[in-house]
Chain A
């Protein structure tokens, strides 16, 4: 597609429920990133996928968070047993392999509210 697509754009869920957030990167971009933006905070790195390499999951805040990327394209971020502190905007970005010359392209994000 023309840009990075994320769905849903907004999600309200009850505490304790599981949620899935989807990211469809730009076609041909091998790198995919998830970031989280909490109210009043900067963007926080969550996870990085690059081609068929093992993902860098070092930014995931707890074992309730997991992510996968199928076929080197679409990625799903799953949050199990959601807590109120998980409320944030979850942003996905993608970039070409040559990251030295290209910046990130971000999607519009998913605003998650846990009530």
Chain B
């Protein structure tokens, strides 16, 4: 079964600190991996997208890594801000034999940044 597992489920950190979120997946055949940020009551917003050949991608204070061999990804947030409080979702997309791209979403990591 294609799965995406994220850890930790929730995380509380102090403003200014760094943190790393994890994503393990079994989705196959792999097409791409994305990280999204979802604020409460809003739709997800894309942070990064990586294909098989990419092992790191940055977007400001967000840096995602991908190890396609071990099927693991991480999202590192540097110098956290209060506005980083949100759910961070890992999404792995597979490509079917018919050429369709089907995403599988993780349950997300809920991050709370305290002042």
Partners in one complex: no
Residues of A within 8 A of B (CB): none
